[in-house]
Structure 1
Amino acid sequence: MTRTAHEVDSNADDVPHATAPELPSRFVTSIAFGTVLQPLNSSMIAVALVGIRTEFAAGTSVTWLVSALYLATAVAAPAMGRLADVFGPRRTSLAGFALVGLASAAAPFAPTVPALVACRVLIGIGTAAQYPCGVAMVRRAADRLRARSGNALASLAVCSQVSVALGPSLGGLLVGALGWSGVFWINVPLVVLGAAVMLRWGPADPPSPVGRGARARALLSVDPVGMALFTVSLTALMFWLLSLSEDPQWWWLAIAVPAAAATAWWSLRGEDPFLDVRLLGRSALSLTYLRTVVTYTAFYCVFYGFPQWLEESRGLGPVGAGLVVLPISAVGVVATLTANRLQRNRSHWLSLTIGSAALCAGGALLLVPGASAPIPLLLVIAAVLGLPNGFNNMGNQRAMYAVAPAWAMGAASGLYRTSQYVGANLAAAVLVLTFGARPTDAGLHRMGLAVAGIAAFLLVTAVYGTAVERHRAA
């Protein structure tokens, strides 16, 4: 059967490149540097909330500093990916750096919590640009140099893993030295350094549209109407998910569903829509997004739920809980590197099978500890819980990269990122349902059952995917 040019291009990375070189390290460094900003900002804020609450006498409203970043990132990631496809990923990445730097410099002077939340929204938009732009630059550079992209994709995954885990520790040092504003000030030198590295070594973009008319046509090609409809549907969905923790507000769902239908209708009638429903018609890509949502629901349950239990029920405090969960990060980095090597010659389904099986085992182990559980046992459980992260992350990322068309890699990568943060908000609802008012031993065990159940579903899909791939090969 003859494949179209787009289909050939979209699956080019599936072909073994035994003799092809990896991307130059200078490209990888420049691309990976920016991707630390989002996970770092999502985790550093946790240790600053008490100081912000005290200074502004804000009460529970400070929780929007966490939710606003996830919401902004979930909406902005596909938009930034779409802009990267039109204007070039390096230009879009640099614009994101500038937005993060300006918002972070302004945040310490915010007079109210809503103003601080607005700064977090801008930071979320700016950091959302980095991952889809990074993947798009990887694809452009790999195609141009006829190089393998495995090391670059692994670097993106490792940077994300490490920065999420180190965020609370770094944030604690900054808050201790500079107060809560330190978690914002740190972004300023980071974005200056990141922009300098990007300008020096980042893969060049194709020529930009010139002239006011050309730029206006390029902006219109991003489809602002489709972007607005998608934003309304996803924002309403996120508000509904966040409301599940207290009193479910079903009217948000009544907004989300019609807005999603309108988004699909608008997409089908446009020649170059912001959210190409026809792209989601590629079953392999849409299933990858669905699997990513489910995977990250389990991941964020572990990432936020286990430390809460360690701190409150086990009585380790924030420092002790942070030290106990460090193996999640350390083992996750090793698993990421191992999965990257494994995928050089094997299918991504093998990584997903290993990751799902390990996640199932980790969820089952969460049924064991109680309030008096010994530290060595907790460290072993943390190490097992770190194992699936690298394999699942690399497997899903490689699956998306392999089946998404090269001409829409930025938008496809943005939707992949959005899938992760939809999972994060689903995890918040799961934690409320399992923990209740506080993380008790029984709540930890219920969370473990939920994680194990999710992992069992993922394992079935991975085994099925492996069987289908072998059948096709035969």
Structure 2
Amino acid sequence: MSAGRGTRAATSPLIPPAATGTAGPATPAKSAGSASPAPGRPGFGGRLTAPLLIGSLVNPLNTTMISTALVAIGHSYHVGAAGTAWLISVLYLTSAVAQPVLGKLADSIGPRRVFVAGLVVVLVSGLVGAFALSFTWLLVSRLLLGIGSAAAYPASMSILRHEGIRVGRTPPRPVLARLSFAAVGSTAVGPTLGGVLVMLVGWRGIFAVNVPVALIALVTALRWIPADRPRALAADGSRPKTDIDPLGIGLFSTALTLLAFFLLDLAHPNWWLLLPFVVVGAVLIRWQLRNPKPFIDLRVLVSNGALTRTYLRHGLGYLLVYCVMYGLTQWLEEVRGFSSGETGLLMLPMSVAALACSLLGARTKGIRGPLTLACLLLTVGSVVLVFLSGDSPLVLLLLAGACFGIPQGLIGTSNQAAVAQFSPAESIGSAAGLQRTAQYIGAITASSMIALAYGQAATDAGLHLMAWIAAGLGVLLIGLTLTDRALRTPQTH
């Protein structure tokens, strides 16, 4: 069944459901420890969403918060810039791999269990980093942080979908927008918060702050998130097996890691990495096609075009956003001569626009309109970058930032709503995890594109090259959005 024919495409699962013994998505089901909603009670209350929001901000907050601590960490352990950069890369790599894996686990063994377990790992990572005696232990801390924080988003999406089943309605756009707002907002305030922590308590505060945040989210999750429904017994009275497909997960993780390492340095590509990537990818495809209960059902992935195109749009959109978030800021400091604080102030309109539009996008009933506007602005913003130079007026710099800030909010909210609409209830965690994987691949590719364009230092010519590539990708995004017939189907609430 093609996903391009309305919402019926959502009935084809991207990742086959685990043997949970629960009713299908059309049947409202009770969560263990929760009662049926009282008449007039809409569900999705503040107590349910509060721990989800706190848990979901940990990963994006830590992607940017450490940026202001890299120099201090390098001085403490006598590590250069290339070495401290691994503190950023290891979080992206781990998160890209862990998101769909933990999403699968959330679908299989219960989202509340995975959400809580992830917070425990985040707590441990904060302690390891705060008391690290060597740079290696900091890398271990970031590795654990990537694994633990990656559980929050896919598990949250699964929890919200289960709540929707319980109350007989789909998760409202404003509720989904809060998750997007938490991610965008925490990303925006990360550098500022990191700078304050380094100034007040030193760089170890960057790691230690995750401990109280994880504790608050953990306590509220245990109190307010309904317990996972117990899985029904099999016909012979035994407990059903959990279909995890460890070989599929291992092959997927290996292939994605090889691809990420290749993308990390396109300026000096390690071509030899492509051979093991192709081999592992071929083995993965063969295993997934032969396995009756694969980690990723490739046949259905092909047939559910609406969801596949959502991943593509999300990855390309954030590739362009990250190019500006990191590429333009580097150009502002190295070419225009602005300080880090001045650059942060210049990028503030971009952050404010992203925050505002993540909330405004939630008020729209459709997906196609906000996404089209976002793609148009990404393209316009890319063209504006082409005309920037060392003596460009300040208003043009602010305009460029706003052209990328507005799409950042709209893309996050709209594609998140598309994932919720086009993925089936029993595999929403896996689908949401793959959405974040697409975003992190976009981030890794953006960093490589920036390095390829700039070389040793940012220049006007490098910025213009990056802008032309971004403009071409923006036109591609416009085409993908306007020609997607599935986006013409209004959301149901």
Q: TM over 0.5: same fold?
A: yes
Amino acid at match of 1:80: L
1:384 shift after superposition:
2.2
After TM superposition, the structure 1 = structure 2 runs for residues 349-364 of structure 1, keeping only pairs within 5 Å, are: 349-364=368-383
1:370 shift after superposition:
2.1
Q: Counterpart in 2 of 1:277?
A: 298
CA distances 1:229-252 after superposition (whole Å, capped 9, x unpaired): 11110111111111323x211111
Is the Cα–Cα contact under 8 Å of residues 20 and 147 in structure 1 kept in the other structure? no
Find the partner of 1:392 among 391, 411, 420: 411
Structure 1: any 5+ residue segments left out of the alignment? 13-18
Name which of structure 1's ranges 136-145 and 436-445 shifts more when overlaid on structure 2: 436-445
Find the partner of 1:130 among 152, 161, 178: 152
Secondary structure of 1:35's counterpart equals helix
Name which of structure 1's ranges 370-379 and 2-11 shifts more when overlaid on structure 2: 2-11
1:63 shift after superposition:
0.9
Find the partner of 1:51 among 69, 72, 79: 72
CA distances 1:70-114 after superposition (whole Å, capped 9, x unpaired): 000000001110110112111101100000110110113323323
Q: Counterpart in 2 of 1:16?
A: none
Residue 336 of structure 1 pairs with residue 341 of structure 2: no
For residues 175 and 231 of structure 2, what CA distance do their matches in structure 1 show?
Answer: 25
For residues 26 and 277 of structure 2, what CA distance do their matches in structure 1 show?
Answer: 33
Residue 94 of structure 1 pairs with residue 99 of structure 2: no
Going from structure 1 to structure 2, the CA distance change for 1:444 and 1:84 (only over 3 Å counts) comes to same
For residues 344 and 462 of structure 2, what CA distance do their matches in structure 1 show?
Answer: 20
Is the Cα–Cα contact under 8 Å of residues 22 and 151 in structure 1 kept in the other structure? no
Q: Counterpart in 2 of 1:198?
A: 221
For residues 10 and 161 of structure 2, what CA distance do their matches in structure 1 show?
Answer: 16
For residues 144 and 5 of structure 1, what CA distance do their matches in structure 2 show?
Answer: 19
Q: Counterpart in 2 of 1:239?
A: 261
Residue 229 of structure 1 pairs with residue 251 of structure 2: yes
1:148 shift after superposition:
4.3
Q: Counterpart in 1 of 2:325?
A: 303
Is the Cα–Cα contact under 8 Å of residues 266 and 449 in structure 2 kept in the other structure? no
Is the Cα–Cα contact under 8 Å of residues 351 and 394 in structure 1 kept in the other structure? no
Secondary structure of 1:271's counterpart equals coil
CA distances 1:212-236 after superposition (whole Å, capped 9, x unpaired): x989943xx2111111111110111
Going from structure 1 to structure 2, the CA distance change for 1:315 and 1:147 (only over 3 Å counts) comes to same
Is the Cα–Cα contact under 8 Å of residues 10 and 404 in structure 1 kept in the other structure? no
Going from structure 1 to structure 2, the CA distance change for 1:182 and 1:312 (only over 3 Å counts) comes to same
For residues 371 and 182 of structure 1, what CA distance do their matches in structure 2 show?
Answer: 37
Find the partner of 1:85 among 88, 107, 129: 107
TM-score normalised to structure 1 length: 0.90
Is the Cα–Cα contact under 8 Å of residues 11 and 402 in structure 1 kept in the other structure? no
Amino acid at match of 1:44: M
Name which of structure 1's ranges 40-49 and 258-267 shifts more when overlaid on structure 2: 258-267
- Could you say what the CA RMSD is over the residues aligned between the two structures, in angstroms? 2.5
Q: Counterpart in 2 of 1:324?
A: 346
Comparing both chains, which one has the higher relative contact order based on Cα–Cα distances under 8 Å and sequence gaps of 6 or more?
Answer: 2
Residue 144 of structure 1 pairs with residue 149 of structure 2: no
Amino acid at match of 2:193: L
Amino acid at match of 1:264: I
1:356 shift after superposition:
0.2
After TM superposition, the structure 1 = structure 2 runs for residues 428-439 of structure 1, keeping only pairs within 5 Å, are: 428-439=447-458
Q: Which runs of 4+ in 1 moved over 6 A?
A: 1-5, 8-12, 213-216
Name which of structure 1's ranges 460-469 and 262-271 shifts more when overlaid on structure 2: 460-469
1:144 shift after superposition:
0.9
For residues 409 and 216 of structure 2, what CA distance do their matches in structure 1 show?
Answer: 27
Residue 420 of structure 1 pairs with residue 439 of structure 2: yes
Going from structure 1 to structure 2, the CA distance change for 1:10 and 1:148 (only over 3 Å counts) comes to closer
Residue 26 of structure 1 pairs with residue 47 of structure 2: yes
Is the Cα–Cα contact under 8 Å of residues 43 and 167 in structure 2 kept in the other structure? no
Is the Cα–Cα contact under 8 Å of residues 23 and 151 in structure 1 kept in the other structure? no
Name which of structure 1's ranges 286-295 and 369-378 shifts more when overlaid on structure 2: 369-378
1:166 shift after superposition:
0.5
TM-score normalised to structure 2 length: 0.87
1:321 shift after superposition:
0.6
Residue 453 of structure 1 pairs with residue 472 of structure 2: yes
The structure where helix makes up a greater share of residues is 1
Is the Cα–Cα contact under 8 Å of residues 349 and 466 in structure 1 kept in the other structure? no
Q: Counterpart in 2 of 1:6?
A: 11
Q: Counterpart in 1 of 2:93?
A: 71
State the number of aligned residues. 456
Residue 186 of structure 1 pairs with residue 186 of structure 2: no
% same residue: 38
For residues 66 and 20 of structure 1, what CA distance do their matches in structure 2 show?
Answer: 43
Going from structure 1 to structure 2, the CA distance change for 1:21 and 1:147 (only over 3 Å counts) comes to farther
Secondary structure of 2:411's counterpart equals helix
Residue 155 of structure 1 pairs with residue 178 of structure 2: yes
Amino acid at match of 1:233: A
Amino acid at match of 1:227: I
Q: Counterpart in 1 of 2:191?
A: 168
For residues 41 and 436 of structure 2, what CA distance do their matches in structure 1 show?
Answer: 28
Amino acid at match of 1:34: G
For residues 411 and 25 of structure 2, what CA distance do their matches in structure 1 show?
Answer: 21
1:394 shift after superposition:
1.9
Q: Counterpart in 1 of 2:395?
A: 376
